[in-house]
Amino acid sequence: MHEATVAQSLIEVILQEARKRNARPVRAKMSCGELNRINDDVLSFAFEAVAQGTPCEGMTLRIEHKPLQGRCKPCGRVFAVDVSNPHCPGCRSEEFELLPDAPLVLDEIEFERADDGEG
């Protein structure tokens, strides 16, 4: 299960950052390319399961899928490829190359300060 491995890696990075900041993670956002075979529901379930019993328990994970990008050969424009209607929105050419899919990235983590015991 690819999503379980991804969830474990995300939790490890988030916990490492939380320790550095002496803070509790509350929200995180990750992104991946459109062709990445991440199932959002399975990843969310795995994330919740791995987070149980850690400072990450109860935090929110937002998953954003970045569109597949293409570069038009005639005009050079970079654009989001619509697979149902694949052409350059600038010059209408159907001659384009696909650019590498966006990697899986932990884009941001939101923390709240750990209670320091002061009023």
* CA angle 44–108–57, rounded 5-degree value: 45
Using the structure block, give the residue that is written with the tokens 């919740």. Answer: 48
Tell me: the pLDDT tens digits for 51-82? Answer: 999 999 999 999 999 999 999 999 999 999 99
Round to whole Å and give the CA distance between 25 and 52.
13
Please state the domain extents for the chain. 2-113
pLDDT at 115: 66
Share of the chain above pLDDT 90, in %: 88
Contact 39, 6 (CB under 8 A): no
Give 37's pLDDT tier (boundaries 50, 70, 90).
confident
* DSSP code of residue 119: -
Class of domain 2-113: alpha beta
Task: Please state, in angstroms and rounded to a whole number, the distance separating the CA atoms of residues 96 and 83.
Answer: 12
Looking at residue 1, its pLDDT comes to 55
Give the strand pairing for 96-98 and 69-72.
Answer: antiparallel
| Neighbour-count burial of 14, counting CB atoms closer than 10 A to its CB (0-12 exposed, 13-18 middle, 19+ buried) | buried
